Chain A
Amino acid sequence: MLSITPDTVALGAARKGVITAGFSPVADDARAINGTVGDITSADPRMTARNVNVYYGDKLAINNVSLDIGVNEVIAMIGPSGCGKSTFLRCLNRMNDTIDICRVEGEIRLDDQDIYDSGLDVVPLRAQVGMVFQKPNPFPKSIYDNVAYGPRIHGLTSNKNDLDEVVEQALLKAGLWDEVKDRLDEVGTGLSGGQQQRLCIARTIAVAPEVILMDEPCSALDPIATARIEELIDELREQYTIAIVTHSMQQAARVSQRTAYFHLGELVEVGKTDDIFTTPRHRLTEDYITGRFG
């Protein structure tokens, strides 16, 4: 595991300098490291990623990314396709472990615990850092069993009444309870796309995670279902830390407090969402959000 020393920072910046020769940052920031423009840190970080490199085989997919994810905030990750934002998100709960050829370097901490420490078990980690995927993927089980899946495998409840309570609370928080409370026995795959995605969110929050990672959660949904999910994300911010990858800049602007712009595996710019969308400082960010490419 790497830790941050002035040397590695300098090395990263030097390498960055080669790659970003054509880029022209509008301004420089005192606290920017690794060539990222803007403030990568958060006042109250839940997760901290430092100098993360990800390789698929020999190919470098993420180059030296450092980023904090703060408590009770929504951070949006935007960027053109293939820029590594989903890969970075999947590092945060070690879902990349399921890909044989994927290799992660660097340091990622959850509440001061190194999640890539060899002594750490991924099972409790993934319970703490839940994930919602691009395509709604409810199990072909009943709505109740979908939500109860996590609490059951983690043994969170000791009797049926507690489990009922957990399921109801999760569905309430996901804003789905009123629509499904009379048909909890029906198959989850029979719901509409937007309901399925909210069911998946309920399934994730039923295990009481600290962080929820969302990988383009609305890309398979219609605008009305998307609006419902966005409202939900805003409500969930009160209790959870949320990182969301999205292709829609409007969505990033609507739901997030901070925005990170990725480009070709590098974190180009991070900042308050309002600042990023009104006064981007890096030319690449500006080009992307003004729609000149992407």
Chain B
Amino acid sequence: MSNTLLILILLGLMALAYRLGMRRSQRLVGGPGGVRDLHSLPSYYGFFTAIWCGLPALLVLFLWVSLQSGVIRDLVIADLPEAVRTLPPAQLGLVINDIQNLAQGNIVSGEVSLEMERAAAHYQRLRQTSFAASVVVVLSLALLGLSVGWRLVSPKFRARNRVESVIKWLLVGCSTIAIFTTLGIVLSVLFESIRFFEMVPIGEFLFGLDWSPQMAIREDQVGSSGAFGVIPLFAGTLLIALIAMLVAVPIGLMSAIYLSEYAGARFRAWAKPLLEILAGIPTVVYGFFAALTVAPFIRDNGALLGLDVSSESALAAGLVMGIMIIPFISSLSDDVINAVPQSMRDASLGIGATHSETVRKVILPAALPGIVGGILLAVSRAIGETMIVVMAAGLSANLTANPLQSVTTVTVQIVTLLVGDQEFDSPKTLAAFALGLLLFLITLVLNVVALHVVRKYREAYE
């Protein structure tokens, strides 16, 4: 019998409680005809009884499961010989791991001693006892809750209000999950970054011109300076983002103007969804498009012109990223252009302005804040984009403004720092968290500014 079965039994009990509560409420008023005398509909009495039956029992089971492993561990350690108990925490953890593996029949790292066997048997016994106790406690709690809920059912009892308040708390819980998850991610990144800044000064990190995160493992290792200056990374990121925006803003904006102002309804009906499909292409597909098609194309054509083009150029990554971002810009711009009221167009056309004058002098200025907001959102997307640059932009941290050379970006470095077997206490690995934090702050600021601009614009015409 496992916890899954226990939960299934609990659910069955809750279903039973629902029927019992509903029946009791109906019986108390003399059958279905007397439902008017009840405060709430019979099903609410059913739900109320089921909640009393299930909720406390589930909460206790949850607490039990989350606390049980710690308690059992402490009990096993207390029973170990003195020599093992006084080991440093890391090694003690390994021993406990071995005992657990032995108890569950998994492969054990070292020799199995008699003491280990005994400890494993002890561990197994404790687990069984704990589980049996939990079954008894949880099931009796469920039955107790059922009887309490059943007794509380009476015609005057306000079951609907109680059930709805439970549901309200459920909704509150769900809505806070996303918030707490975000908070948890930010805090974990923050704490790891603080550990990093204990090893590398924050000034050196923010303003250093060298990025070479290889750390010497041995004293005599060469070429491992361990320099953590993010300037080349951000220069590379901004260079690629700039190229992407140079591609995406004009194309996106102009296609939005065409679609919203000039295109006929039928062309628009299929062109707009088609354009938005671009946003649905997985970025990894863009990535190999950039690495296998665009980059060689640029290198070969550069060679024809006598230019020295790296095979992993910033230009290739930026171009493809720009294509990826076109739908963001065109879709958002299209929406804000359509939000400009028809009366503005009428006013301009009514004085004898041509269509293009109307677009340039009335519609674009009126839509500009919204367009800027869309562009800022697209920039933060470009800065955070990973897959395309991992595949197409290269790894060497060059501080250059030449788009034909290879540069690297913040996201690429985070990937390379964390890929493979790494120690989690070296500055090299922790640097990834510091980079992540910095990237997060930058995109956060961009998003806040963009959303503010967009919202301010929305109020203008309502």
Contact = CB atoms under 8 A, between A and B. Distances in A.
A138 B362 CA distance: 10
A113 interface: no
Contacts of A95: 346, 349-350
Contacts of B125: none
B361 A123 contact: no
Interface in B331-362: 341, 343-354, 357, 361-362
A133 interface: yes
Given A139-B366, A141-B365, A153-B357, A127 B352 contact: yes
Contact of B343 (A127, A133, A150): A133
Contacts of B460: 140
A153 B353 contact: yes
A137 B351 contact: no
A247 interface: no
Nearest to B343: A137
A194 interface: no
Interface string A23-63: 00000000000000000000000000000000000000000
Contact of A153 (B344, B350, B361, B365): B361
Contacts of A102: none
Interface string A119-150: 00011111100110101011111000000011
Nearest to B357: A153
A123 B348 contact: no
B347 A133 contact: yes
A109 B295 CA distance: 63
Contact of A133 (B264, B346, B357, B361): B346
Contact of B352 (A139, A141, A153): A153
Contact of B350 (A93, A124, A140): A93
Contacts of B365: 139-141
A181 interface: no
Interface string B88-124: 0000000000000000000000000000000000000
A128 to B, nearest CB: 8
A203 interface: yes
Given A149-B361, A153-B357, A153-B361, A137 B352 contact: no
A139 B344 contact: yes
B346 A125 contact: no
28 contacts: A93-B350, A95-B346, A98-B349, A100-B264, A122-B352, A123-B352, A123-B353, A123-B354, A125-B352, A126-B349, A126-B352, A127-B352, A130-B350, A131-B346, A133-B343, A137-B344, A137-B347, A139-B347, A139-B362, A140-B365, A140-B366, A140-B460, A153-B352, A154-B352, A200-B347, A203-B351, A204-B351, A207-B352
Going nearest first, the 4 A-B pairs with the smallest beta carbon separation are: A127-B352, A126-B352, A137-B343, A131-B350
